[in-house]
Amino acid sequence: MPVSPARSAALEILLRVEKTGAYASELLHSARLNALSTADHGLATELVMGVLRWRSVLDEHIAAHSKSSLAKFDLEVLTALRLGAYQLIFFDRVPKHAAVNESVELVKHARKRSAAGMVNAVLRAISQSAPCVSEHIDSCAAHPEWLVKRWTETYGIEPGKEICNYDQTPPRAAIRVTGRSVIEELRQDGIKLEPGGLLRSALVVRDGDITQTKAFREHRVLIQDEGSQLVALLVGKGRRILDCCAAPGGKTRIVAEQNPDSTVVALELHPHRSKLLRKLVPNYNVRVIAADARQLPLAMKFDRVLVDAPCTGTGTLARNPDIKWRLKGDDVHRLQKYQVEILSAAMNRVASGGRVIYSTCSLEPEENEEVVDRVLSDNPSFLVTDCRDELDRLKRAGELIVDDVESLLRGPFLRTIPGIHPCDGFFAAVLEGNAARL
């Protein structure tokens, strides 16, 4: 019996995520899925992201109706069970028998035919006992306990719950648009847009698949979270600007747009990501270099330096739910060392009186405030500048449309919180060099 293309693709992607550490969001937009119809691509996306968002909850239901420990299952079998359980618990448009039968066929096609009977029995038991809609399930239960504990201790119990709720809701795509002609083109392509929640130049896709439009394929429109756009706008103006960790290039492009007559240097460690970055900024004043930001191959100094550091990405779990299952507590401290090295190197390239904008998409203080504190202790010629000043500047310019600017601040730092703000979780600090001491 044939398996639906969408479910087959979903199984393949989930297995690659587990086996290779690849990111589901990237695999879902790879050329390997080009053969899928729009409907099948949409279903595959919903299945993959749904399983990753609710994996721990699905495993609880599977374990409750299985005679064997989940640790004893082959990965192909467990993944097929998760796909079936997700459809039974969270889908109300898929007939239960179809969800069960398709998962059984997936196991057979994966050459695990001996497990077909068990998969059938477990899923039929789940179909008789599982809740019909996701509203009955606590979002916090779909996160590693250690992460939820961190967030509630750092931000409070209610914000912690809001973060978890946001993570479990498929986020809508945000784009940045600077010309009316592109908006009209997207509307003609069937894309329905509405104003963003943070920025005047941001729009949110209410309906339609923007990745299938000509404007997206030609890189005239980029999908970029509003929090990410806001971080790029904090860079402000400068004659020479350095973006230390530039790929995939959304922030670089905004910086170049804001500084059309300036020199913008974009650094990226991995050559293949540098090639992607070049495709996104071909018509901008950007020089792309493949190099390690900790060992900057540059002699010149810069007025503005953006360090959008590699991080755990815990502020982006709504878009990247696979992160929460591969992340370990030690990763936070391992990355902190890397972040300190990058930021310290960047500060050595700042011109007299210049600024460094340090940012992450992490919710963890160790990657944010603690990195800033550590670096400043070794670089007394720099001081923290209150992000309120930059937010007020954007507010006066009509770019920032949030009424409560104070809510975007945590001390002198920018801090967006998923569920509290209409965007992913971003942190930013503005560090200014003391001209007299540099």
H-only helix segments in 91-115: 96-109
User: Is the separation of the CB atoms in 123 and 105 below 8 Å?
Assistant: no
3-state helix vs strand vs coil in the chain, percent to 5: 50, 15, 35
Phi first, then psi: what are they for 89, rounded to 5°?
A: -90, -35
Partnered with residue 104 across adjacent β-strands are: none
Nearest 5°: the CA angle 134, 139, 140 is 155
Partnered with residue 305 across adjacent β-strands are: 242, 356
Nearest 5°: the CA angle 166, 171, 174 is 130
- Eight-state DSSP code of residue 223: B
The number of helices, as runs of H, and strands, as runs of E, in the chain is 18, 12
Is 361 part of the annotated catalytic residue set?
Answer: yes
Q: What does the block give as tokens for 185?
A: 């083109």
- CA 271, 249, 364, 175 torsion: positive or negative? negative
CA 337 – CA 9 distance, rounded (Å): 38
Q: How far is CA 341 from the centre of its chain?
A: 23
- CA 249, 252, 257, 261 torsion: positive or negative? negative
Q: What does the block give as tokens for 188?
A: 């003609």
Strands 302-308 and 240-243: parallel
Phi first, then psi: what are they for 67, rounded to 5°?
A: -85, -15
User: Is the separation of the CB atoms in 13 and 82 below 8 Å?
Assistant: no
User: To which H or E segment does residue 410 belong?
Assistant: strand 409-410
Q: Which of 140, 244, 311, 361 is catalytic?
A: 361
Q: Which residues of 94-110 are buried (b: 16+ CB within 10 A; e: fewer)?
A: bebeebbbbbbbbbbbb
Nearest 5°: the CA angle 227, 200, 215 is 80
Identify the CA nearest to 356 among candidates 364, 371, 346, 366. Answer: 346
Q: What does the block give as tokens for 20?
A: 């290779």
CA 88 – CA 95 distance, rounded (Å): 8
Q: Which residues are catalytic, by number?
A: 361
